[in-house]
Amino acid sequence: MPFLLNSMGAEPRHNYTAVIYVQIGAALGPNAALYKLVRTITKSQFVERILVLWAADRPLPLKKRWPPTSHIPLHVISLGGSTRSQGAGPTSQTTEGRPSISQRFLPYEEIQTDAVLSLDEDAILNTDELDFAYTVWRDFPERIVGYPARAHFWDDSKNAWGYTSKWTNYYSIVLTGAAFYHRYYNYLYTNWLSLLLLKTVQQSSNCEDILMNLLVSHVTRKPPIKVTQRKGYKDRETGRSPWNDPDHFIQRQSCLNTFAAVFGYMPLIRSNLRMDPMLYRDPVSNLRKKYRQIELVGS
């Protein structure tokens, strides 16, 4: 596998490409979550490029509406039609023929780094959290490394697999709304997975993150890795949003069981490992801590 080649002398592709998937497409301005997220990413010491996948019904924002990204190239791709580039590189045109939420995992030519940072448009993370997660991913490039974790379980009452976002002493899924993974999985997801799996995602417009977790665990036979975040971190399934809906969870449980049936077994693996920043809670001067923003709740 590509992420094992470095031990055989291949040159690793350093840094990461941030891929932001936009479904809602709220008005873009300095106070918008997407605007703030792009600004946060540009401050990262490891980011090489930002790729925005615009899947919203609203038209693409004008170039002048996006935050300045200085030396970081910003590419905005409309999954329904055109592509606009800001920063380095010319404007180009792209057309995608199969509209699906799985398009967030296509092997885009703009992704030239091994590391992909997958983000939802409303992810709330600071630069320290991004940089720390990337440093962890570099040690585990074959795994999904990220923040919001979920768990699967066997429900005896329903004789089926269940899915939960409740706090547990283990997890088996790290959502791709804020996670790093190797770009090779984009190729596998798009070209190797059963068409039935991809069709399930397309019909439900949901569950692509669960399917990516099953794929990675199937390939590696290892669980994802959760990294710590500020206690104030919120994500779609635990806050007030369309994703925090009973039908949403029922649908995801249905997907989970369909996926397991197609795979022929349950690939997900439980883990209770969590990676915390070095000196995170040690009695050391805050100025000496490498990722001190992670401790600043609400920053």
In-domain check, residue 298:
no
Record the pTM: 0.85
In-domain check, residue 297:
no
Q: How confident is the model over 181-232, as pLDDT tens digits?
A: 999 999 999 999 999 999 999 999 999 999 999 999 999 999 999 998 765 4
In-domain check, residue 233:
yes
Identify the pLDDT of residue 291: 73
Nearest to 86 by CA among 74, 71, 70, 69: 74
Identify the pLDDT of residue 253: 95
In-domain check, residue 224:
yes
In-domain check, residue 186:
yes
Distance CA 253, CA 256 (A): 5
Q: Higher pLDDT residue, 26 or 3?
A: 26
Active-site residue set:
209
Query: What average pLDDT score do residues 11-16 get?
Result: 74
Identify the pLDDT of residue 85: 45
In-domain check, residue 299:
no
Q: Higher pLDDT residue, 188 or 2?
A: 188
Domain enclosing residue 36, as ranges? 2-290
Identify the pLDDT of residue 128: 92
> For residue 160, what is the domain's CATH number?
3.90.550.10
Q: How confident is the model over 248-274, as pLDDT tens digits?
A: 889 999 999 999 999 999 999 999 988
Identify the pLDDT of residue 55: 93
Identify the pLDDT of residue 293: 74
Q: Give whichever of 7-16, 142-151, 290-299 has the largest mean pLDDT.
A: 142-151
Distance CA 186, CA 193 (A): 10
Residue that is written with structure tokens 């992810």 in the block: 123
Average pLDDT of the chain is 84
In-domain check, residue 296:
no
Q: Higher pLDDT residue, 13 or 199?
A: 199
Domain count, the chain: 1
